[in-house]
Amino acid sequence: MPSEILPRRDFLKTLSATAALPLMIPESASAATSPAVDQRRTETPFVELAIATICLDGFSNKQHEPAFRLIPQLGIPNVEFNVWYPDVITPNYIATIKSRCAAANLKPVCVQGSGFGGEGRNGILKDVGHKLALMYAARDLGCRRIKCTGAARGTQGGLESVIATLRELAPAAKEMDMLILVENHAKNVLETIADYHEIFAAIDSPHIAMCCDVAHFWGSGIDPQEVIETFHSHILHVDLKDNRTRGGGHDVVPYGEGITDFKAILDQLRAKNYHGYLLIEMAWAEPKEPVLVNLRKGRDLFQPYVRL
């Protein structure tokens, strides 16, 4: 990686030092207390359901009002919060998420931000700063996971810039004992098996892991079971949504109406001793009615695979 596109190491060291504060870890089982310990080998296995706020909020900024109103009716306490807008990534707003979760008996388990990407030195610097802000937000919420996908293929510095940013973030993630989950997306710089081979060849850190989105792999024409077979030791988060076709991009349908064989996928994950969250994520610009009925189908389908 050319050195001229990377932020200064002293900058990262300063940020990492300020981040090395005690962290509450609300995972089902206690994780290793040392930030240097390999997460993939030492975390006591668990599988839990979680739900993404995008299921209820859609793609617009509703400041999570529908999510807080409807998620308690589903009986799923674990919540991944989408924070894709400037006003919902501020410390003050993150504090409101924390207080609203306490009032609703919900538990933040992951923070999803906008994607990786940035060209040149300043672009990488801004991307590192943004992902650090997500890590601080996760820490303030008492969780240890952030999740991001990338930009459209051929834009924002491509896969090279994603790897440059991850290389800079890995030491801070170690210090904070955070997991950075790199999510695939159809027609994205993070899309293929080859993309992930390149990432994990460049960065060998237990704090950099894959979020496997089964519908987006189908949308890219890739069988998610092939992905699980190849990268099961790196997968620590699984997004579960149904896809209408293979190779048709982002074309999500209600559970049971697409091509996804959830039983085969979940059985394979169990056989590979997967541990982490099974995320209910029905992603549309506006949620499709009947929203709660559709989400309960997913809850009931995935619940038998929970393992504490």
Buried b (16+ CB within 10 A) or exposed e, 219-244: bbebebbebbeebbebbbbbbbbbbb
Q: Give the pLDDT band (50/70/90) at residue 121.
A: confident
Closest among 36, 80, 79, 84 to 60, alpha carbons compared: 84
pLDDT value for 6: 41
Confidence of residue 306 (pLDDT cuts 50, 70, 90): very high
Nearest-CA neighbor of 276 among 68, 48, 104?
A: 48
Quote the pLDDT of residue 32: 34
Residue 43: the pLDDT is: 58
- 252-253 and 242-243 as β-strands: parallel, antiparallel, unpaired? antiparallel
160 within some domain: yes
| Nearest-angstrom CA–CA distance, 86 and 298 | 31
- Asked whether the whole model's pTM tops 0.75, one would answer yes
Instruction: Note the helical H segments in the chain.
Output: 9-19, 39-42, 54-57, 65-70, 91-104, 120-141, 158-176, 193-202, 214-219, 224-231, 262-271, 291-302
Asked whether residue 23 is domain-assigned, the answer is no
Query: Domain range holding 274?
Result: 43-305
pLDDT reading at 64 higher than 60: yes
CA contacts within 13 A on the Cβ side of 298: 27
Domain-located, residue 29: no
- Greater model confidence, 8 or 283: 283
Mean pLDDT, all residues of the chain: 88
pLDDT score at 277: 98
In a domain, 27, yes or no: no
* Whole-number pLDDT of residue 304: 96
Q: For residue 274, is pLDDT > 90?
A: yes
Q: How many domains does the chain have?
A: 1
Upstream peptide bond of 77 is cis (omega within 30 degrees of 0): no
Residue 111 lies in a domain: yes
Question: Does 281 reside within a domain?
Answer: yes
Mean pLDDT of 150-161: 96
Task: Say if 262 falls within a structural domain.
Answer: yes
3-state helix, strand, coil in the chain (%, to 5): 45, 15, 40
Distance of CA 34 to CAs 143, 147, 173, 206, Å?
16, 22, 12, 13
For the residues 142-164, what does the mean pLDDT come to? 97
Structure tokens at 231: 């990268």
CATH code for the domain in which residue 235 is found: 3.20.20.150
Residue 208 in domain: yes
Confidence of residue 118 (pLDDT cuts 50, 70, 90): very high
